[in-house]
Structure 1
Amino acid sequence: MRTDQNTLILNIVSGSLHIGNLVILSVSASEYLPQLGLKESASGMLYSINWAGALFSLFLFSWWSNFGYAYPSYTSAILAMLGNFLNSLAFQHGYELAYIGRFLFGLGTPRVLNRRYIGDHTQSSERTKWATYYVAGCLLFSSISSYALGWMNFEAENFGLIVNKHTSPGYIMAAVWLIYIFAMALMFKEPADKSSSSSPIKSDQSSLLFAGYGLWAAFLSKLMMDYLVLSAPLVLVHTWNWENKSVGTFFGFAYLAVFFIQLYLANYSRGSQETRLLVLGIGVAGIGGSMISSLWYSSLIQYLVGAIVLLSGTNFTDGVTTSFLSKCLPPSYSTGILNAGFLVTLCGTLGRIAAGLIIAYIDQGNYDLLNLLMFPMMVCCVATMFLFRNNSRDLEGKID
């Protein structure tokens, strides 16, 4: 099997660009929403609407990718472009357009395409490495986006559009997606083969049970990661009197630090068993969660370090689960809608939606409660580690 490097890179860039775009929309929402007549807490609802749209796209793109990757990839980019444009246009025409824009942006989520391409069109021995590179790319773009947001404050009025610090992020990102579409037209090549030469484990009840373990890990990692990303701005601003710009700078640094950690782990993962890597990632996430929980933290430094540790663990877990599932699911699943990329993205999306709904439900003044809820998530990490450890021999024997 020969993988086209340009197409693989475009595939990674689309997912990275989309998640970086989401960071821009999420961080800027706290100042943008009051301009639309909405409360800050509406950011959690907008976030969930975004991932509700992503949930619809999962089924559409998972089915569509059975026939090819080019057209669904173009559709994804066009929807992301329109979503950004409408989100900014809401400044002039009402908050309803912001809801529609965020839904369309979510509908354009390319993650199932990205993960399936990596799962089906890279060699089995290289799959964990490329999946980890994919997550590293998302982290790099998230870091760049956090810093770039501070520069997206243009003031202008062209073609009847008001461009200011509230609307320029959406308009700029719409232009970036247009550039990406042109890049696709020049470089994207449809893969000739249907799937890679992988060797999934045999189809039996235990195989599906082990796949369930991996899906739970995908859900838990996204729940913890997005809960932190959504709660941290509220906690840092109202507990330690940070400004939104400082929050963005911190996350830019955090994502950049975790990016380099991911690059190291991508090389470390070569020849390593996915089961052990999952235990490592979940364990690190649990340590970060325990540092953040208000049962223990007593200083700003501990909170910030805990956030970086948690992001490191959850992102590493995210990178390993696609490779784990692609080897764990029966071969018949790889050619249908319920492929590894779809299932991992589905569980991750449900985790993101759950995080947004929890933030939206909690009263905005309960900042101690925001951190306290990290404790049960940390307990889930410990339980999940024991689950994998107790079944490690069976898992490793089947995957090998």
Structure 2
Amino acid sequence: MVAFGKKLKETQIEEWQGYYINYKILKKKVNQYSRQIENGSGDHLLVLKDFSFMLDNQLEKIVLFMLEQQGLLAKRLSALREQQDTAFQQGTILDVSEVREAYRAVGQDLLRLLFFVEMNAIGLRKILKKFDKRLGYGFTNYYVKTRANHPYSQLQQIFKHVGFGAVVGAISRNLADLQDNEGSYVSIYDQPILHLQDPVVTSIRAAVDRLTNSTNFLNFMGKHAMIMQEDLPSPSQDDVGDQAFDLMSLLLNLMNTFLYMVNTYIIVPTADSYSLSLGAAATVCGAVIGSMAVAQMFSSVYLSAWSNKSYKKPLVFSSVLLLVGNVLYALAYDLDSISVLLIGRVFCGLGSARAVNRRYISDCVPPKLRMKASAGFVTASALGMACGPALACLFQAKFKLFKLTFNDDTLPGWFMALAWLVYLLCLCISFKEPPQPECNIVPQESNRDTKGNRTHNAMENGLEQPLLKSSEEKQQDDDDEEGQDFDQCDEDSDESHKPATSIVAAYRLLTPSVKAQLLIYFMLKYAMEILLAESSVITGYYFMWSTQYVALFLACLGLTVLPVNVLVGNYISNMFEERQVLLASEIIVCIGIVLSFKVGIPYTVPQYVISAVLTFVSAEVLEGVNLSLLSRVMSSRLARGTYNGGLLSTEAGTLARVVADGPRRRLWGHIAAQSALRLQYIRAQLEENLRAASRNFGLCLTE
């Protein structure tokens, strides 16, 4: 992968060279400050003041040039508007065609300007991070907050792309007016769905989307999926991705995600009754649910490794295992074997392809569609979580067919077996294996014949990292002889950008902040699994709820996922910092857990429902914000390869489910059994004492 300093030098527009951020000088300054601090000759306050002054000057230079170029574009658009009116009045097709091409030329120049702003924004982010890393300061947060929140902020001119919206709107509207009917086309403001899909307009909108630093629902949901973006994608990535991308394959990949989540939660309402019917204790349902999670820990690794060579084969293998596992789960009733039941769930866990689903989106979906595909992954998971219990609520029939029993315990297994069989057939017929070299190998920057080609391709692809991202990136200072020893310590070689090749290498890339985020993810998944897996046992013991009530309750909880993410992605994350939302969510989760305890007073349905809703909803908010932060602080080396960030988050969540469903269940069952024995002993003693008292009382009356 090419270092940023070299990429900036190669892709900058020649006539604008003097207006780019002077990344080389700023790096020299950082090295100089570092030497001064180490030697004890530098003053911290003076260093901060001097570096802030340099950055302010760089920002002012960039912003003033950007505004000047925007003014030139606006002037050209105004002149084109007059030419367009004249062409419409004369009705000459040739004139209309010339005006259309002139608008497209303005669009190309706007793309150049957007790329200019984007490269400067990335340079600013990288130099701030380098300053913090070399000097150990929290300068980035201070600088961004003080500059971004100022009423005359020049920083916001860059990161909120002020003024570009009007130019983009003018180009889009006028190109739409010039389409086909020479001005008779309905305005894009009246029919926004029918607006012109001109290639220039599409490229501009993609560039604006990459440049924006504001949070919206799509970005929030995409980060929720923990599908990371590469820091410096190659210029040919979009073109290659478009050629290799197949929509049906993506839909089948998302369908695998949906069906697996349905498969996970469809048995939750009936797991305790199924265990009882096979002669086991109700608490064994924890082992039934948890066995799938135990197997998933291993399947995530080997299927992710298999996807280095193929995507279709792991998905087919996964579907076969899930088909067999569900058949065994359903047959356990007629075989009267709890072992067959557990083996069936283990097979289902071994068929977990969520790591492959994430990796397919990360590696084989074009960058411009990747965020939408990531949001689709989260949506499919949420719908599967809600549909699983809802389907269990519908399976209330009881009959026999070919000596096989079909009832509310076995029907979930038979239904999922049929669903996986249909999916397997569709997968074999419609899934197209993507070309492996383009999808799995991180492409290197190829040489370009001309700098113009490099600039055009880079404008089309750009970079989409936020200012405050703090992944383990390093850069190389080209032509920087002074401070070369420092550069060798903190600049990335091509080798350092390669994906992690082992779980140990991936673990070494985890910084303390990443470990903290993974721990939070583990704890929230632990809390959610306890809530969901225990629902049938608790509601049956305290409230005598039937399977239908439990399934309906869990389905309602699952349906809250999407509305909550819409609320957080569109509103809450724009009003509060993510760390504030993170802390508030953790507090509410704790409150929900505390409310779930039975202390002194009788345990009531409102208490349980309120505690469950608080815990589940706040945990969902916590999960989204946590994974959003995690995608920012995780190393870019974990964006691809077998041991990627998605696999690590999957393993953390699966481990939480294992811990929640395994030893805790056995401990609770042991405590419950001991408590029952004590109660029986106390009851027997009381009855014996009552009988003895009755005999004594009878003797007293006789006397």
- Spell out the pairing of 1:59-74 with structure 2 (5 A cutoff): 59-74=301-316
Offset at residue 97 of structure 1 (A):
1.2
- Spell out the pairing of 1:215-234 with structure 2 (5 A cutoff): 215-234=518-537
Offset at residue 129 of structure 1 (A):
6.6
SS of the residue 2:639 aligns to: helix
Report the AA paired with residue 609 of structure 2.
L
Most deviating of 317-326 and 30-39? 317-326
In structure 2, the gaps of 5 or more residues are 1-237, 443-462, 475-507, 676-703
Pick one of 65, 74, 88 that aligns with 2:330. Answer: 88
Superposed CA offset, 1:265-298 (max 9, x none): 4555888976566445544433432432446996
Report the AA paired with residue 554 of structure 2.
F
In 2, Cα distance between equivalents of 1:14 and 1:56: 18
Note if contact 2:392-2:412 (Cα within 8 Å) is conserved in structure 1.
yes
Indicate the structure whose relative CO is greater, using CA pairs within 8 Å and at least 6 residues apart. 1
User: Do the aligned partners of residues 128 and 350 (structure 1) sit closer, same or farther apart at CA in structure 2, a change above 3 Å counting?
Assistant: farther
- Spell out the pairing of 1:174-185 with structure 2 (5 A cutoff): 174-185=417-428
1:194 aligns with 2:464: no
In 1, Cα distance between equivalents of 2:572 and 2:510: 22
Pick one of 125, 136, 140 that aligns with 2:383. Answer: 140
Pick one of 555, 559, 583 that aligns with 1:256. Answer: 559
Larger Rg: 2
Report the AA paired with residue 22 of structure 1.
T
Offset at residue 305 of structure 1 (A):
2.3
1:36 aligns with 2:278: yes
Note if contact 1:132-1:265 (Cα within 8 Å) is conserved in structure 2.
no
Most deviating of 332-341 and 283-292? 283-292
Offset at residue 188 of structure 1 (A):
2.9
Report the AA paired with residue 194 of structure 1.
C
Pick one of 344, 361, 377 that aligns with 1:101. Answer: 344
Pick one of 100, 112, 115 that aligns with 2:358. Answer: 115
SS of the residue 1:362 aligns to: helix
Superposed CA offset, 1:106-135 (max 9, x none): 111122223333444567798677555533
1:164 aligns with 2:407: yes
Q: Which residue of 2 aligns with 1:389?
A: none
User: Do the aligned partners of residues 285 and 189 (structure 1) sit closer, same or farther apart at CA in structure 2, a change above 3 Å counting?
Assistant: farther
Q: Which residue of 2 aligns with 1:214?
A: 517
Most deviating of 220-229 and 275-284? 275-284
In 2, Cα distance between equivalents of 1:288 and 1:129: 32
Most deviating of 282-291 and 104-113? 282-291
Note if contact 2:561-2:617 (Cα within 8 Å) is conserved in structure 1.
yes
Q: Which residue of 2 aligns with 1:377?
A: none
Q: Which residue of 2 aligns with 1:26?
A: 268
User: Do the aligned partners of residues 288 and 191 (structure 1) sit closer, same or farther apart at CA in structure 2, a change above 3 Å counting?
Assistant: farther
Q: Which residue of 2 aligns with 1:242?
A: 545
SS of the residue 1:162 aligns to: strand
Superposed CA offset, 1:81-114 (max 9, x none): 1111001111222222111101001111122223
Report the AA paired with residue 86 of structure 1.
L
Note if contact 2:294-2:349 (Cα within 8 Å) is conserved in structure 1.
yes
Give the number of aligned pairs: 368
Note if contact 1:49-1:102 (Cα within 8 Å) is conserved in structure 2.
yes
User: Do the aligned partners of residues 69 and 324 (structure 1) sit closer, same or farther apart at CA in structure 2, a change above 3 Å counting?
Assistant: farther
User: Do the aligned partners of residues 95 and 363 (structure 1) sit closer, same or farther apart at CA in structure 2, a change above 3 Å counting?
Assistant: closer
Report the AA paired with residue 12 of structure 1.
L
SS of the residue 1:166 aligns to: coil
Q: Which residue of 1 aligns with 2:250?
A: 8
User: Do the aligned partners of residues 234 and 145 (structure 1) sit closer, same or farther apart at CA in structure 2, a change above 3 Å counting?
Assistant: same
Superposed CA offset, 1:36-70 (max 9, x none): 22111111112222111111102111211222322
Superposed CA offset, 1:185-243 (max 9, x none): 34434445436977682258896222212211221111000011122222222122322
In 1, Cα distance between equivalents of 2:292 and 2:313: 22
Note if contact 2:392-2:408 (Cα within 8 Å) is conserved in structure 1.
no
1:329 aligns with 2:574: no
In 1, Cα distance between equivalents of 2:329 and 2:255: 22
Most deviating of 38-47 and 302-311? 302-311
Q: Which residue of 2 aligns with 1:77?
A: 319
Most deviating of 281-290 and 28-37? 281-290
1:300 aligns with 2:542: no
User: Do the aligned partners of residues 321 and 183 (structure 1) sit closer, same or farther apart at CA in structure 2, a change above 3 Å counting?
Assistant: farther
User: Do the aligned partners of residues 111 and 161 (structure 1) sit closer, same or farther apart at CA in structure 2, a change above 3 Å counting?
Assistant: same
In structure 1, the gaps of 5 or more residues are 370-400
Note if contact 1:198-1:327 (Cα within 8 Å) is conserved in structure 2.
no
In 1, Cα distance between equivalents of 2:473 and 2:434: 27
Report the AA paired with residue 666 of structure 2.
A
Report the AA paired with residue 291 of structure 1.
L
User: Do the aligned partners of residues 270 and 134 (structure 1) sit closer, same or farther apart at CA in structure 2, a change above 3 Å counting?
Assistant: farther
In 1, Cα distance between equivalents of 2:517 and 2:259: 26
Offset at residue 320 of structure 1 (A):
4.9
SS of the residue 2:669 aligns to: coil
Q: Which residue of 1 aligns with 2:669?
A: 363
Note if contact 1:227-1:359 (Cα within 8 Å) is conserved in structure 2.
no
Note if contact 2:300-2:647 (Cα within 8 Å) is conserved in structure 1.
yes
In 1, Cα distance between equivalents of 2:353 and 2:590: 28
- Spell out the pairing of 1:266-277 with structure 2 (5 A cutoff): 266-267=569-570
In 2, Cα distance between equivalents of 1:343 and 1:216: 11
| Identity %, equivalent residues | 25
Note if contact 1:55-1:346 (Cα within 8 Å) is conserved in structure 2.
yes
User: Do the aligned partners of residues 127 and 273 (structure 1) sit closer, same or farther apart at CA in structure 2, a change above 3 Å counting?
Assistant: farther
SS of the residue 2:472 aligns to: coil
Note if contact 1:135-1:318 (Cα within 8 Å) is conserved in structure 2.
no
Q: Which residue of 1 aligns with 2:158?
A: none
SS of the residue 1:337 aligns to: coil
RMSD, aligned α-carbons: 3.4
Note if contact 2:304-2:355 (Cα within 8 Å) is conserved in structure 1.
yes
1:312 aligns with 2:554: no
- Spell out the pairing of 1:43-62 with structure 2 (5 A cutoff): 43-62=285-304
User: Do the aligned partners of residues 269 and 302 (structure 1) sit closer, same or farther apart at CA in structure 2, a change above 3 Å counting?
Assistant: same
User: Do the aligned partners of residues 232 and 155 (structure 1) sit closer, same or farther apart at CA in structure 2, a change above 3 Å counting?
Assistant: closer
Q: TM-score, normalised by structure 1?
A: 0.79
User: Do the aligned partners of residues 56 and 110 (structure 1) sit closer, same or farther apart at CA in structure 2, a change above 3 Å counting?
Assistant: same
SS of the residue 2:268 aligns to: helix
Report the AA paired with residue 49 of structure 1.
S
Q: Which residue of 2 aligns with 1:289?
A: 593
